[in-house]
Structure 1
Amino acid sequence: MTRLAAFVALGIFTGTAAIAADPATGLWRTEPDRKDLTSLIRVSECGAALCGTIEKAFNPRGEEVTTPNVGKRLFWDLKPQGDGAYADGTVYVPLMDVTATAKAELSGDKLKVTGCKGPVCDGQVWTRVQ
């Protein structure tokens, strides 16, 4: 019976470690874009990397708006590098209809997301919603 208890305990600890979510997963609010819209981005694990999908968009008054970008994948293949750093991903910038190399840095409830196309980089700091 003791051996069975040991296997069950090992399974519980192993299973818990396997299902622990990456600290950057969750729902994030963007800064206003060039059209003055903010969005909610759902960051989730996609295999060994992270991806983000636009869940909702809001006008400057905080009212939800319908845009063709809601439901679209915003970034993918963003790989954890350790210490809150993520790199080697791809980001889609809907306003410019361009893809770029993506990286991010997590610090508490802030996620700094940067996209670079050649030597030109731009980004935003997102705030965790949940």
Structure 2
Amino acid sequence: MFRKMSLALAATLIMAGAACADPIEGSWKTQSGETATIGGGGSFSITLKTGKYAGKTIGSLKAAGDNKYAGSITDPANDKTYSGKATLSGTTLKMSGCVLGGLICKSQTWHKL
């Protein structure tokens, strides 16, 4: 009896841990059609999985509250790193990279796969 209850408790805890994953984690379709994966805990790493720069880590974000994230974004074409931010809305992630204190920004919209 004790063993069955222990197994049931362990299964519940494992499922609860999976359900607590941050919604930003997972695979995303970038605006240019590649696939990127966001994963981690506390600090989220962004890695391209398909395309010309597959395997390259292109950013790091931390939760800033209210489905917003802040950190750095790297352009894989020229390896320049910018101040980055992201806003999650359902299955859409709006990513931005800025220079000059946010004076000049470029943004993309990604969709969850």
- State TM-score, norm by structure 1: 0.70
| Pairing partner for 2:69 from 64, 80, 86 | 86
Cα distance in structure 1, aligned partners of 2:16 and 2:63: 16
Is residue 2:26 matched to residue 1:44?
no
Deviation at 1:17, TM superposition (A): 5.1
| Pairing partner for 1:99 from 81, 93, 107 | 81
Deviation at 1:48, TM superposition (A): 1.0
Q: CA RMSD in A?
A: 2.2
In the other structure, the counterpart of 2:21 is: 21
| Amino acid aligned to 2:22 | D
Q: What are structure 2's unaligned runs of at least 5 residues?
A: none
In the other structure, the counterpart of 1:56 is: 50
| Amino acid aligned to 1:81 | A
In the other structure, the counterpart of 2:106 is: 122
Cα distance in structure 2, aligned partners of 1:100 and 1:25: 21
What secondary structure sits across from 2:55 in the alignment?
A: coil
Percentage identity across paired residues of the two chains: 32
**Higher-helix-fraction structure:** 2
What secondary structure sits across from 2:49 in the alignment?
A: strand
Deviation at 1:81, TM superposition (A): 1.6
Aligned residue pairs: how many? 107
Cα distance in structure 2, aligned partners of 1:112 and 1:15: 31
Q: What are structure 1's unaligned runs of at least 5 residues?
A: 33-37, 58-66
Deviation at 1:18, TM superposition (A): 4.7
Cα distance in structure 2, aligned partners of 1:21 and 1:39: 23
| Pairing partner for 2:58 from 57, 74, 90 | 74
Any idea what the Cα deviations from partners look like across 1:27-57, whole Å, max 9, x if unmatched?
Answer: 111112xxxxx21000111x41111100002
Cα distance in structure 1, aligned partners of 2:77 and 2:95: 16
Cα distance in structure 2, aligned partners of 1:92 and 1:74: 5
